[in-house]
Structure 1
Amino acid sequence: MKKLVSFLLVCFMMISVVGCGKSDSSAEGNKNKEEKPREERVLRMSGDNLGYPSVYTVSSKGRGYLLTSYIFDTLTWKDENGVVPLLAKEWKVSEDNKTWTFKLNDKAKFTDGKELTAEDVKFSFEYIKDHPYQWVSVDPVKEVRVKDKHTVEIELKEVYAPFITDIAGNVPVMPKHIWENVTEPEKFNTADSVIGSGPLTLESYDKEAGSYIFNANKEYFLGEPVIDKLIISKVNNDKEALEAGELDAVSNLKYGEAKQIKEAGKFKVMEGPGFWVGRLYFNFDVEEFNKKEFRQALYHAINREEYVQKALKNGAVAGNPGHIHPDSEWYSKEVKNYDFNPEKSKELLASIGIKDNDGNGIVEYNGKNLSYELITSEDKVSEAEMLKKYFGDIGIDLQVKTIDSKTLDAMIKEGNFTLALNGHGSFGGDPVLLQRFVSSKSQGSTPQVTTQGGKQWSNEEFNKLFESQLKELDNKKRYEEVEKLQSIIAEELPTLTLYYKKITFAYDSSKLDGWFFTKDGVAIAVPTTQNKLVFIKGKWNN
């Protein structure tokens, strides 16, 4: 019996040892499996060379703002449905609607490890007041007060209806400890200038190639990004680069190319509201341009549907005389329209003394043949040539001159042109964007990229209505005032709104999915799918 007990005891111990050995081996295997680093999640996108992506050194174009938004956060933001909290987790407004109190997320910090506080918010608003920033004006702000470490109070001079989106949602919060000694922000392009609190950090920028490499901010207060690295680079052909597997997402597509990609079925293609407007600018130093009948004659001379079909290959929606995009909640269809009617054009010209008196095919005004230089960018030659044909049919001669887009923007801003064909982010958000037609000082905030130099169109009724609607918090009443603004634009035509470009975006959903079009556009009407929230909320599938 003793021998049997001893034998069983030995067997039990051996089984235990072997069993434990197997258990340890299995656990070690699982441990090694878990510790094996996953493959780096690299997303490659197309983009343009937009300069160094700090607040004051990046391009004034909408995509430039997008780059800085990856690095710098604002109090509020927008997703596919509208306004959402960002640095401010909650807010409230006083009874008189002039004082806004924001509670900051106490987990937010800058990428150098320093905590983001109310002092940084106050500093950023005051810094932008002293150093004007092209994407937002803080003129409506009277004072910013720090209530405690994570509470900031912003008092306005007057009620300002678009404050929560167009100011709170656009002022980049910069670290006070870095920027407080920066006196020339437009020259500040060191590594310190791109320290922010956003979901991405800048690894490198190749000025010659115009390419960017961003890394994930692993300690982002809204959660670790679903990508590890974002590479943005310019390629010769977006469609070919996507199909060849060189890029995972592209946005510089012609509309026809996007349709071809969609039909092939390998990649997903999104088509959304194109809050990008193509328009004809007038230099009002030219005497006849100040007559609304002249501008109306030009609009009647343009077959906008044919223009969109032929010059833009159906990649746009015909322009609305009231300027606001038909997809906007502020759009009014009850405005004066202009059908394609060259005979009506000639009648309008004749009514103000513009006729072809010598039979040479060109109309005259005060003894002068009406021949004008039309400047535009190299990619709009076909559009310009169509305008030349339309205007030629009513006796107005155009001489088309093409220049690079940067020079074109500068010449319009300086007022150094006669007629200009150009475009920009148009109207995806608040009616504050109609400020581009205001001739008097205004508290409105709108991107400087849309401004026009030289003598401008002026209408006192428009100026007063614009200021009035900025203070109207009742949406129904405000809509009625904005509707009147559109009616004035449609009657007076301070610009000829030619079309709204359709926006397309193609991507490999086997990599990153969850892209969306931002409601009313990022910042002040930047139409895009490349909202930084997709890097947090999107799904990495590869």
Structure 2
Amino acid sequence: MTVRIRSTLMSIGAAVIVLAACSTGDEPAPGEPEGTEGTAQDSRDVSVQLYQAPTSFNPLIASIGPNHLISQLHWDGLVSVGPDNEYESRLAESWSVSEDGMTWTFDLRDDVTWSDGEPFTADDVLFSFELYADPASGSANAGKFASVDGAAAFADGEADSIAGFTAPDDHTFVVSLTEPNSAFLIDLIQPILFILPEHVVGEFPVEELTDHQFFREPTVGLGPYVFQRWVTDDQIEFHPNPQYRNELHLDRVFAQFLTTDVAMAQLETGEIDYAQVAAADATRVEQIDGVTLHRDEGPGVMALHTAHDSGKLADVRVRQAILHAIDRDSLVDEVLNGEGKVVDTLIHGPDWAMPDDLTHYDYDPARAQALLDEAGWDSETPVRLEVTPGQADRDTIVTIVAGQLQAVGIDATVAEMESSVMAERIGERDFDLLISGYGMFNIDPAAMDARVKCNQIGGSNLSGYCNEELDELLEQGIATADQDERQQIYAEAQRIMNEEVPIILLYSPNNLAGTSAQLQGFETAGSVSNHFWNAADWSVGG
């Protein structure tokens, strides 16, 4: 048993996993036809676990963890996140920003080819970014590009293209903004804005992209391992990209949904090579021979989200009462076995961005009841805690939280639903307290923008919260590169977030993963939904 412990401020949160399975002994690999069994000596197959069932490779729609992970294998983006809290070069070999913060230039790699042999060029990047900025495509990220020159005219149908996206040559992509944005890169990595093939997707009607079959079974990719087939409804087989820029060391990768309990059992028996590890299982995993536990400080949050536009929990006193009703310290200490920390605002890094005068909502049922009384709360109002089951930590948390809310007069019940149903509820704005984990909130405080700005409603702003005063501060925050100025701006922004409680923050969980001795080269960077960032470096051995 080997334990690797590295504290990094860059592990991204929205919580999803992928299990890697190796073909061992005489048993066929997952989905492998009878008669083609490998052995531990000659197999170069792994499988990756997804804590929820994957549904699509479509990067335009709202991202969920498992979809983001499988997309990391098949697609690629300009920039990602690597270890040690650093931006990682991907398709963009380098980038620069003008002194006024209004022009970003990306120098693209010249050794990249699509898996079908077609050349990758800056035109693919321009095409993809126009899709991301176009609400007609179903893009959940259109709000991120409101300050791009010409984006508004394009979205309104007044222009055929976006003036602020240009490709002066095959290996250069330029973004011109109408307002300074010193933190533009953060918008490209949470989630990663993967690049799509213009020569394929460009043939499809834009208004049909949300549900297009291509994104269920993509035929072209840029990532190290490209889609081959759906083995079952929740298991996917990937093959090496024959055009990938570096040598690859695996023959097949299998991505499969497995619940926490099943994943831990199969990790212990050697049936899989990678699994997200629940906090309650960390000590057990440390004791398994041949398994390495990877532990990082989490960059994301686990939080409860309410649809503000539904009005049910619209009174800020009710949201504050919910926080006081939940014993968050005990959740971290007892359910997570200390594998995390309680946070009172989305941003918990870097250090300069953290004000020291935020209100800490300690466990105080009496205060919770008083706030509910002030708000005129009707104790017969039903409140659902929506969860997609399968993650042990999360399943336990919602059960405990429901009981603690009931204790202060909130009629809370746990509502389990599949991820597809959850997505529908989100689209219909029909959820009360939806639990979700996500985010990279320790790189730059501008990371909060996508979750709370008014123009992100319908995209990453899951709760539909809108505060014009906060928006103005966040605009000021990205308009300057001066750290002292930004510190003051974001301190005030975080005070608003802390008081308004637009998102009911529970804790920031540690990033835990387990790998077998067979899987070599795995390294965490960012959150669990970024765990496949270096899949091109994976190999089998041991």
Same fold (TM over 0.5): yes
Retained in 2: the 8 A contact 1:392–1:398? yes
Retained in 1: the 8 A contact 2:115–2:242? no
Looking at structure 2, the residues matched to 449 and 205 of structure 1 have their Cα atoms a distance apart, in angstroms, of: 28
Looking at structure 2, the residues matched to 385 and 508 of structure 1 have their Cα atoms a distance apart, in angstroms, of: 32
Retained in 2: the 8 A contact 1:413–1:452? no
Taking a change above 3 Å as real, the CA distance of residues 284 and 529 of structure 1, as seen in their structure-2 partners, is closer
Looking at structure 2, the residues matched to 217 and 91 of structure 1 have their Cα atoms a distance apart, in angstroms, of: 26
Looking at structure 2, the residues matched to 498 and 224 of structure 1 have their Cα atoms a distance apart, in angstroms, of: 42
Looking at structure 2, the residues matched to 138 and 275 of structure 1 have their Cα atoms a distance apart, in angstroms, of: 24
Match of 2:435 in 1: 422
Q: TM-score, normalised to structure 2's length?
A: 0.77
Cα deviation, residue 216, structure 1: 1.8
Name structure 2 gaps, 5 residues minimum: 1-40, 150-163
Number of residue pairs aligned between Structure 1 and Structure 2: 472
Looking at structure 1, the residues matched to 195 and 311 of structure 2 have their Cα atoms a distance apart, in angstroms, of: 46
Match of 1:227 in 2: 250
Q: Does residue 271 of structure 1 match 2:275?
A: no
Which amino acid in structure 1 is aligned with residue 221 of structure 2? Answer: G
Q: Does residue 175 of structure 1 match 2:197?
A: yes
Q: Secondary structure at the match of 1:469?
A: helix
Match of 1:398 in 2: 412
Match of 2:181 in 1: 160
Retained in 2: the 8 A contact 1:516–1:529? no
Q: Does residue 63 of structure 1 match 2:66?
A: yes
RMSD: 3.2
Which amino acid in structure 2 is aligned with residue 148 of structure 1? Answer: D
Q: Does residue 308 of structure 1 match 2:332?
A: yes
Cα deviation, residue 268, structure 1: 0.4
Match of 2:368 in 1: 345
Identity across matched positions, percent: 22
Q: Which of the residues 358, 378, 400 maps onto 1:386?
A: 400
Match of 1:464 in 2: 472
Looking at structure 1, the residues matched to 505 and 130 of structure 2 have their Cα atoms a distance apart, in angstroms, of: 36
Match of 2:99 in 1: 95
Looking at structure 1, the residues matched to 311 and 127 of structure 2 have their Cα atoms a distance apart, in angstroms, of: 47
- 1:91-490 counterparts in 2 under 5 A? 91-130=95-134, 131-134=137-140, 137-142=144-149, 143-167=164-188, 170-183=192-205, 184-190=208-214, 193-208=218-233, 210-221=234-245, 223-235=246-258, 237-251=262-276, 253-284=277-308, 289-310=313-334, 312-314=335-337, 316-325=339-348, 330-350=353-373, 352=374, 354=376, 365=377, 368-377=378-387, 379=389, 382-417=396-431, 419-428=432-441, 429-435=443-449, 438=452, 440-441=454-455, 448=459, 450-452=461-463, 456=465, 458-490=466-498
Q: Which sits farther off after the overlay, 408-417 or 86-95?
A: 408-417
Query: Cα deviation per residue 1:418-473 (whole Å; 9 max; x = unaligned)?
Result: x314113134444344236646336xxx99355135xx4x4332221122112222
Which amino acid in structure 1 is aligned with residue 271 of structure 2? Answer: E
Cα deviation, residue 111, structure 1: 1.0
Q: Which sits farther off after the overlay, 284-293 or 39-48?
A: 284-293
Taking a change above 3 Å as real, the CA distance of residues 132 and 111 of structure 1, as seen in their structure-2 partners, is same
RCO higher in 1 or 2 (8 Å CA, sep ≥ 6)? 2
Cα deviation, residue 153, structure 1: 2.2
Which amino acid in structure 2 is aligned with residue 424 of structure 1? Answer: G
Looking at structure 2, the residues matched to 480 and 527 of structure 1 have their Cα atoms a distance apart, in angstroms, of: 31
Match of 1:506 in 2: 514
Taking a change above 3 Å as real, the CA distance of residues 479 and 225 of structure 1, as seen in their structure-2 partners, is farther
Retained in 2: the 8 A contact 1:61–1:449? no
Q: Secondary structure at the match of 1:215?
A: strand
Taking a change above 3 Å as real, the CA distance of residues 397 and 160 of structure 1, as seen in their structure-2 partners, is same
Match of 1:531 in 2: 532
Retained in 1: the 8 A contact 2:323–2:504? yes
Match of 1:41 in 2: 44
Looking at structure 2, the residues matched to 401 and 412 of structure 1 have their Cα atoms a distance apart, in angstroms, of: 14
Looking at structure 1, the residues matched to 131 and 178 of structure 2 have their Cα atoms a distance apart, in angstroms, of: 18
Cα deviation, residue 272, structure 1: 2.0
Looking at structure 1, the residues matched to 202 and 500 of structure 2 have their Cα atoms a distance apart, in angstroms, of: 46
Match of 1:84 in 2: 88
Name structure 1 gaps, 5 residues minimum: 1-37, 355-364
Taking a change above 3 Å as real, the CA distance of residues 123 and 465 of structure 1, as seen in their structure-2 partners, is same
Retained in 2: the 8 A contact 1:212–1:233? yes
Cα deviation, residue 269, structure 1: 0.8
Q: Secondary structure at the match of 2:489?
A: helix
Taking a change above 3 Å as real, the CA distance of residues 234 and 328 of structure 1, as seen in their structure-2 partners, is farther
Taking a change above 3 Å as real, the CA distance of residues 111 and 487 of structure 1, as seen in their structure-2 partners, is same
Q: Which sits farther off after the overlay, 124-133 or 399-408?
A: 399-408
Looking at structure 1, the residues matched to 291 and 421 of structure 2 have their Cα atoms a distance apart, in angstroms, of: 36
